[in-house]
Structure 1
Amino acid sequence: MPQHPRTARTLAVAAATVALALTAPTALAAPTALAAPAPAPASAPSAGGADPVPALVEGRDTAAPQLVTGLAEPAPGDPVRAARDHLAAHPERYRVDTGELTELASTPGPDGRRTVRFEQRHGGIPVLGGQYLVHLTGQGDAQKVESVGGRYFTGLTAPTTPAVPAEALRAAALDALSDPQQRTGATAEDLGAVVLPGGPGRLTEHYTVRPGTGGTGGTGGTGATAREVYVDATTGTVALAHDARAPRPAAATTAPAPAPGAATADGLRPATGTAPDAHGRPAAVNIAQRPDGGYQLTDLTRPAAVTTYDAGGRDAGDFDHVMPADAVPASSPTPAFPAATGDDGATDAHVNAGIVYDFYRDRLGRNGLDGQGGPIVSVVNVSDHGAPFPNAFWDGGKMVYGALPGHYPFSAALDVSGHEMTHAVIDHTANLTYFGQSGAMNEALADYFGNAIEVTARGLAMDDPTAALLGESLCRTGTPQDCANRRLDDHRTTVDDYLGTLDVDTGGVHLNSTIFGGALWDVRRTLDPLTADRVVYHALADYLTPSDDFLAGRDAVLAAGRDQGLDKRQLRAVATAFDAHGIRAGWQQRLGMDARTLLPAAPNGQATPVAANGHWVLLADGPDGNGLYTGTTDGRGKPVRLSPQDGRFHSWAATDGTTAVWEAQGGTGGPGKEILTAPLTGTGPVRSLLRTTDSLDGLQVSGPDTAYALTDHTTGRTRAYLVHDGAPAVGIPLPEGHGLFGLTLRDGLIGWTETWQDGDRTVTAPTVYSIAAGKVTAQYTAHAPAGSGPSRTSSTLLAGGRLVWLDTPVDPAGRSTIRSGAVDGSGIVDVLAASSPQAPRFATLTASDQAISYQLTSAKPAGGWTNAALPKLWQVPLAGGPAQRVSCDRGGQYAVAADRGTRVVWLDATAGRADLVTRERPAGGC
């Protein structure tokens, strides 16, 4: 999926369904807390004779521990009541209010253990990722608690009643679609209220948004059509969006399956037949005979009925999270199915689904993908708008398979089928959130079990050259090593290879998966494979919770290993496997970052920082709730909250280093928006400058002056306004028919890009207006071809006594020239020519009196994403000269804001989260 330019107001995005992902989707970053980081998890080193299973892992952003092991405390009676009573009996140990816990599942294990999984509910409303688990052994009076853990968020005080009407919340959810054309015909299914954790929490309304047929998103070869959107119910703004987890489609929620071998309620009877596979080889298949005498690919021999549909080349979007009413299973008039059944991948999908079911049942004691013997549905032979659909995905209710040109259908690979069906198992157990490290673990576990299923079914040894390869059998020509989509023996580690990103591959869910998956595969190579499979499955089903990271995954596997009877030598071997992949406490601190961290895991998902004269301002979910916070760019002192706690959304700030101005909207503050201002000390009054229902943009402040632009809804006309020292706003005159964008304010001057039509040509003119003189003092005109829009000039800034802007070529993929002009109109200088390999594209500039900084992005490299190819920051002297890298940090670098001199702040994703960081001067060559 192509990457889109970042806007000034959001960190950005798109979303995707859980897929094998031969192309990389994008997603919105989840909001994180402003609180100081918790102590590192107590993962013990693997050396020596110590037990590597941690006895206690402290929670992050919560007082409740993430894991407590080594218990043997009596808990007789009903397991759910016993688990609840145990938590209530130890309030100082767990810091959990059992009144907020609702039973989510009570799952018996094959070894006599039982896991009681509770969901946290604040005021009766589910808390996203809030799950706490109690692990029991024994039965009746002999029952005991052996470990406890999960994610329980203390300190939640969020309201439980929405302040924004339901229609406005739904409209905001639909507006979250990145492509406006997709909003035509889009739907937003309301799934109810959810509290987002972080500080006091945020009350949101959760929607599954499915785009319409317009726009450029479509399936995009990934099945990426639906998004989960959480809209703040007190402000009406999007708080979080991520990959879809849609309800199971109707075809997968039929009546309970009959007993194996029995007829169904609709008259299907078990039968056997033959069908060619994708290689043309005959295969015995379990099928069903219909009342009309025909046959279809429905296997009734297991508690979970297995049905395989042939889409007949229909678009994958028709099957993404839905099942068309006219869809029918792959059929034949006789028990001998035709060659097309194999060519389309239906035979392999059908047979592989049975193999995967048998693996989970016979090896791990699980009854089907949902654990309840629910139906298993596959769809093959889908297209991408008539072209080959180059992927396979689990959509929340079924498997959907396409094919790459020149390859066998994806369903022909047992490891691919196992991978996609394991996503279903993950959804029904830990339900790992599909973003960042939890999303990478989601992919890693799907890889692990996909390969384990294939290796087991084929009788391969773990040292077989193909054992660690995923999808190696899909190519019609070439070697398995060349064909494989991923390999679990690539030896990638956190410190050497982690790709920290916010906007590529949903935070790196596929790019980073083999770091964790490789550790799991090493565990399987070290232990007996059956033992390893049981340990990893126990960790997934009974320890992991939705928002866990790599370290929590390590601790879960170790704790599960001890439950499964591993001795200390074996446990140390497991710990060594994780150590070898860099998954150990403090790995983020060993990445060699050259930037200073101001706020770890700092920003809200819709925030970008601003800075000036030694201070930054940023929207964050902090200890005092969601709002604007400020701090010093040298890292001294503690962040201070600026915005009042009035239930509104406070963002889109500007600062001159002494004062901040920002926009507030939503909540009980009435319709429209309000401009607020306050000193950065955090102790002064918050004053109101304006209330308006017009569109507000370009908010700026400099000393006694505040400027902003308003667009009248009725006329569509945009004007700039100036507030001087608290006096009433004064409009800046523009000639009739002229508009403006890109407002900037500095030291008594206002700048903007002015636009108007000159015949069939659009003129864009960087402009300077003197407040003291009350007139325009400089205007530099440029022409764009008809129909190309007014964005040929952009990102106007006043800095160092000059006006700076980007001159963008007609070719949208081309680079832009950074130019500056004298404020008296006496001339233009090219600061950095478009011919420079460091010239920006799709960039937003930021500038101090000495330097201009910007983000340089790349298209996806032909060889795949690397840290070097992720977005990086560059800086060029205001007077011109060579561009230099701002920082050599490996991960993605976003939302840069100039301070003073050459100092900048930005959001850095190197450590797998969005840290607010700073550097005093460019790093130069990297």
Structure 2
Amino acid sequence: MRHRNHAPKGLGLAATTVLALTLGGTPALAAPGADPDPVPTLVAGQDTATPQLVTGLTEAAPGNPADAARTFLAAHPDQYRIDPGQLTELATERTPEGGHTVRFQQNRAGIPVLGAQYLVHLTGDGADQRIESVGGKYFTGLSTPTTPTVPTEALRALALGSVTDPQVRAKATAEDRGPVILPGGTGRLTRHFTLHGSAPAAGAPLVREVYVDATVGAIALTDEGHDPYTLDANDTRGTAPATGPAPATGTAPDAHGRAAQVNIARLPDGGYQLTDLTRPATITTYDAAGRDYNDINGGIPADLPPVHSPSPDFPPGTGGSGATDAHLDAALVYDFYHDRLGRSGLDGKDGPINAVVNVSDGGAPFANAYWDGHEMVYGGGGPQYYPFSVALDVAGHEMTHAVIEHTANLVGFGQAGAMNEGLADYFGNAIEDNARGLSMNDPGAALLGESLCRTGTPEACAQRRLDDHRSTVDDYLGAAPGLDGGGQHLNSTIFSGALWDIRRTLDPLTADRLVYRALADYLTPTDDFVDGRNAVLAAGRALHLTRAQLRTVAAAFDAHGIRAGWQQHLGMDSSALLRDTSTPTGPVAARGHWVMTSGDPAGKGRPALFTGSTTEPGTPVQLSPDDGRLHSWPATDGSSAVWIAVGTDTQGQWGMEVLTRSLTGGATRSLFKSAGPQQQPSEVAVCGDDIAFKVTDYSGGEGRTRILLSHAGGPATELPLPDGHQVSGLTLRNGILAWSESWTANQTQVFTPTVYSITTGQVTARFPTATPASTDSTLLVGNRLLWVETPTDRTRPSSIRSAALDGSGITDLLPADAPARPTLGITASDQAVTFEADSTKPTNGWTNAALPKLWQLPLTGGTPTRLSCNRGAQYEPAADTATRVIWLDATPGRTDLVSRARPTTHTC
């Protein structure tokens, strides 16, 4: 989820003056010449008129904390712009200092708004109770319809369709979690599904949060986060009954064969099981005995009993499976949160804590551990690894995800996802260091997972290290949304590293309480790094840290580049046309204009189709009508645009429609309207008076492809296409239409770039391709046809082919020693060809250098050079005139639409 920066109305600040603004109280002001207070007094909201953080308040607020919080917000409508009727109390927590924190969820017509949580912090009790600070996210511009127009089952099918692997999709399930409004502009009504399934290539189960637009039927957001199931304090699946078992102690070997004392339960039949009844939260451990991890997701199977023994001395297999370590880990994690931080278990309600050890990946070793929303699941290790429960820091990391779900509930995407992982890193290591009595100066204190490997050094084994000194400016990996959820694991140690420096500088207990207070009382689901910094500093103020200690905290964040405006120091060599955009497809461009679907740049409406200049940022102009449908998948020739609208029309019928309009205004004209969901248009192309598009008809089972062409404003008519032939990559220029045509011959799929004359109504050329090979990104440029040819047998690299339109003169534009080759298509102008060179994961892990980059070469061929030295992901390029290209760039920790006039002359 992304939000644009807009100063809230009525909260403008003069840059050269000390803040002197009263928001339902009087913030403390710094005296002239005094050290500046590192805690921000006011942080403006984003895409809302409600401030994100206000500290230094002192207004009296007697009574029930939740009621007092509502009364305070209602009493100051001009300052906070909050309608208390839209707030639902999520939790009211007692703070260690004797105050309360009330966490509210914003709803509209009873529907929750994603990430919209507002918190009110109170000190004292009774008549002495006062408002101390407020903050969070509350969106003031929401007006989206709250009644879905697409059937739930259709939305479920779309959610499942987001899984690209057909084998994974066939076995996946979609749990309906109800309607959710996505913020931004007027908002967007969606239905939230949690996908579960097997994703062996990822090394962990498929768990994907998918939000499908409930008014148009299109994917609005995906979140590759943790399973959002919540613990229920009354959920006793797999735990010992309330009556019968009695607390006992016994011995069990750990994974290294060392005897350990364990808390167990004696059963009525005289046997014993690994159930710890000595704490308010019952802890039970199970041995999957090599069952597949997919058998465990969503709850412990009824036929899987807890680990048991006829005597209180458990056999050696209890250690070999990792059960003993898992049982002890859960107790240590519980004690850390309860005794050190005052938290009642993972869910805050002393709900049961279950663990399943010794799972496999289809019978093969499963080298992973995770919290699935109900219990801990540990792989059994293998030749390289001990059982994953051996690592207390890993166990603490994963169980901290449960704590996060029940507090800030940070989403698993982008900077919020990186903070989710970073907080789990921090507490995982803090739990282990505290239990082992490690000093912060110990070389292993900052290592995560260093004890997992059977061979090698701890440093080589560690999954991450919190003292890697990474910063936003030097090390932030600008991953596109499709990689690691926008870099949630790749960037986690930037945030956890700052927290670890705080723990190293302050005493560990103070740091642990500080970070936990920020998590439990200040962070909200979609916060970014700077929000995280502000949350920790505000928590420090609430914990009465000294001014010197708060400066130490601020300095730690500064050292890791976590401060407002850090993106401005990344040295990007492109020009931003549209910042912080969200789009279902990439941009298109021609003759100085771009066209793209994006959230409203003015923050006033839902996503729409916009156009703007490829050379100046300016204010984009909306092309699509405000009819409640999704308008996307455009094409442009620089004078007009053609696109596809999907959703429910004014007659209440759901379908897809091909529309066109001049970039300078005028009426929107319809070219094609589907007769129902079985007809799906795609791949539009336009050049002057000619418009072409593809329609796939699924009414007969397998899709039948048709090409439709509208000439000189006339109706779209179908072009002849042999039965069984499929087309892709429609391209149109000066009376010529081309595409890549494919069919099956002798059990082999054949691909042929094809040229069609609109004037004669005939195919004029088909270009032979090497077999086996596929073709993609067919482009008409000048008087030539370009395409990407990729051998399916991988015996040679992909190439960019160029040929005359009469079928002659086929050449390869890339030399044999080209430093990069296209992996995701090409775009071209009359002077240059630009392509995206993707990368597979490097052996030593992802780096910015390995992320997708754009390369350009002359239209006549030659050695490609880098288009831009921007260090993050560069993707979805669109060529304009000459050598200018626009693209989507993830370098600054968000997605920007950017432009560059020519390739860089520097060595990147």
Secondary structure at 2:326's aligned position in 1?
helix
Other-structure match for 1:186: 172
Q: Separation in 2 of the partners of 1:254 and 1:41?
A: 54
Contact 1:846 1:896 in 2 (8 A): yes
Other-structure match for 1:602: 581
Contact 2:368 2:378 in 1 (8 A): yes
Other-structure match for 2:688: 703
Structure 1 residues 795 and 180: CA distance shift in structure 2, 3 A? same
Compute the displacement of 1:478 (Å).
Answer: 2.7
**Pick aligned residue for 2:450 from 469, 472, 479:** 472
Other-structure match for 1:284: 261
2:440 matched to 1:453?
no
Other-structure match for 1:13: none
Other-structure match for 2:890: 909
Matches within 5 A, 1:316-395: 316-395=293-372
Other-structure match for 2:477: 499
Other-structure match for 2:756: 769
Contact 1:612 1:657 in 2 (8 A): yes
Structure 1 residues 245 and 838: CA distance shift in structure 2, 3 A? closer
Worse-matched range after superposition: 53-62 or 714-723: 714-723
Contact 1:37 1:600 in 2 (8 A): no
Other-structure match for 1:798: 780
2:832 matched to 1:832?
no
Q: Separation in 2 of the partners of 1:413 and 1:178?
A: 34
Contact 2:393 2:448 in 1 (8 A): yes
Secondary structure at 1:377's aligned position in 2?
strand
What's the CA shift string for 1:530-549, capped at 9, x where partnerless?
11111111000000000001
Other-structure match for 2:144: 158
Contact 1:40 1:586 in 2 (8 A): no
2:62 matched to 1:66?
no
Compute the displacement of 1:607 (Å).
Answer: 2.2
Other-structure match for 1:635: 616
Worse-matched range after superposition: 317-326 or 802-811: 317-326
Contact 2:230 2:406 in 1 (8 A): no
Structure 1 residues 854 and 48: CA distance shift in structure 2, 3 A? farther
Q: Separation in 1 of the partners of 2:864 and 2:370?
A: 43
Structure 2 runs not aligned, ≥5 long:
20-29
Give the partner amino acid of 1:287: I
Structure 1 residues 824 and 127: CA distance shift in structure 2, 3 A? same
2:866 matched to 1:885?
yes
Contact 1:33 1:620 in 2 (8 A): no
Q: Separation in 1 of the partners of 2:634 and 2:832?
A: 22
**Pick aligned residue for 2:205 from 224, 240, 243:** 224
Structure 1 residues 752 and 583: CA distance shift in structure 2, 3 A? same
What's the CA shift string for 1:408-446, capped at 9, x where partnerless?
212111111111111111111001101111111111111
Secondary structure at 1:184's aligned position in 2?
helix
Secondary structure at 2:206's aligned position in 1?
coil
Structure 1 runs not aligned, ≥5 long:
1-29, 212-216, 786-790
**Aligned positions, number:** 878
Secondary structure at 1:879's aligned position in 2?
coil
2:527 matched to 1:548?
yes
Q: Separation in 2 of the partners of 1:34 and 1:148?
A: 21
Structure 1 residues 714 and 146: CA distance shift in structure 2, 3 A? closer
Other-structure match for 1:12: none
What's the CA shift string for 1:646-680, capped at 9, x where partnerless?
11121111111110111111223524311111111
Worse-matched range after superposition: 495-504 or 170-179: 170-179
Compute the displacement of 1:183 (Å).
Answer: 3.0
Worse-matched range after superposition: 87-96 or 804-813: 804-813
Contact 1:745 1:798 in 2 (8 A): yes
2:414 matched to 1:436?
yes
Compute the displacement of 1:782 (Å).
Answer: 2.3
Structure 1 residues 703 and 355: CA distance shift in structure 2, 3 A? same
Q: Tell me: higher relative CO, structure 1 or 2? Use CA pairs within 8 A at least 6 residues apart.
A: 1
2:835 matched to 1:850?
no
**Pick aligned residue for 2:86 from 100, 111, 123:** 100
Q: Separation in 2 of the partners of 1:97 and 1:59?
A: 16
Contact 1:519 1:581 in 2 (8 A): yes
Q: Separation in 2 of the partners of 1:193 and 1:41?
A: 41
Other-structure match for 2:214: 233
Compute the displacement of 1:249 (Å).
Answer: 8.2
Contact 1:235 1:649 in 2 (8 A): yes
Contact 1:220 1:384 in 2 (8 A): no
Other-structure match for 1:591: 570
Contact 1:748 1:770 in 2 (8 A): yes
What is the Cα-based RMSD across aligned positions, in Å?
2.3
Give the partner amino acid of 2:139: F
Other-structure match for 2:26: none
Structure 1 residues 524 and 757: CA distance shift in structure 2, 3 A? closer
Compute the displacement of 1:256 (Å).
Answer: 11
Other-structure match for 2:193: 207
**Pick aligned residue for 2:640 from 659, 670, 674:** 659
Secondary structure at 2:127's aligned position in 1?
helix
Identity %: 60
Secondary structure at 1:159's aligned position in 2?
coil
Contact 1:469 1:488 in 2 (8 A): yes
Give the partner amino acid of 2:278: T
What's the CA shift string for 1:629-658, capped at 9, x where partnerless?
111111253111111111112111111111
Other-structure match for 1:675: 658
Compute the displacement of 1:759 (Å).
Answer: 4.1
2:157 matched to 1:175?
no
Contact 1:613 1:656 in 2 (8 A): yes
**Pick aligned residue for 1:558 from 531, 537, 541:** 537
Contact 1:257 1:374 in 2 (8 A): no
Q: Separation in 1 of the partners of 2:744 and 2:378?
A: 50
Structure 1 residues 404 and 614: CA distance shift in structure 2, 3 A? farther
Contact 1:36 1:600 in 2 (8 A): no
Secondary structure at 2:558's aligned position in 1?
helix
Q: Separation in 1 of the partners of 2:875 and 2:53?
A: 34
Q: TM-score, with normalisation over the residues of structure 1?
A: 0.92
**Pick aligned residue for 1:581 from 556, 560, 564:** 560
Structure 1 residues 266 and 875: CA distance shift in structure 2, 3 A? farther
Structure 1 residues 812 and 619: CA distance shift in structure 2, 3 A? farther
What's the CA shift string for 1:540-596, capped at 9, x where partnerless?
000000000100000111111111111111110110010001101110110111111
Structure 1 residues 492 and 677: CA distance shift in structure 2, 3 A? same
Give the partner amino acid of 1:725: A
Structure 1 residues 229 and 758: CA distance shift in structure 2, 3 A? closer
Give the partner amino acid of 1:80: A
Contact 1:702 1:747 in 2 (8 A): yes
Q: Separation in 1 of the partners of 2:230 and 2:142?
A: 34
What's the CA shift string for 1:812-847, capped at 9, x where partnerless?
596311011111222212111465331223x11111
**Pick aligned residue for 1:744 from 721, 731, 740:** 731
Q: Separation in 2 of the partners of 1:221 and 1:641?
A: 40
Q: Separation in 2 of the partners of 1:488 and 1:134?
A: 32
Q: Separation in 2 of the partners of 1:823 and 1:805?
A: 12
2:630 matched to 1:649?
yes
What's the CA shift string for 1:225-282, capped at 9, x where partnerless?
1221111110011111113554648998535999xxxx94352211110000111100
Contact 2:413 2:485 in 1 (8 A): yes
Secondary structure at 1:278's aligned position in 2?
coil
Contact 1:257 1:303 in 2 (8 A): no
**Pick aligned residue for 2:769 from 769, 778, 782:** 782
Give the partner amino acid of 1:829: T
Q: Separation in 1 of the partners of 2:521 and 2:98?
A: 13
Worse-matched range after superposition: 764-773 or 637-646: 764-773
Secondary structure at 1:517's aligned position in 2?
helix
What's the CA shift string for 1:697-752, capped at 9, x where partnerless?
22101111101122333564323221012112232223455443221101211011
**Pick aligned residue for 1:295 from 269, 272, 290:** 272
Contact 1:678 1:684 in 2 (8 A): yes
**Pick aligned residue for 2:120 from 134, 149, 167:** 134
Give the partner amino acid of 1:145: I
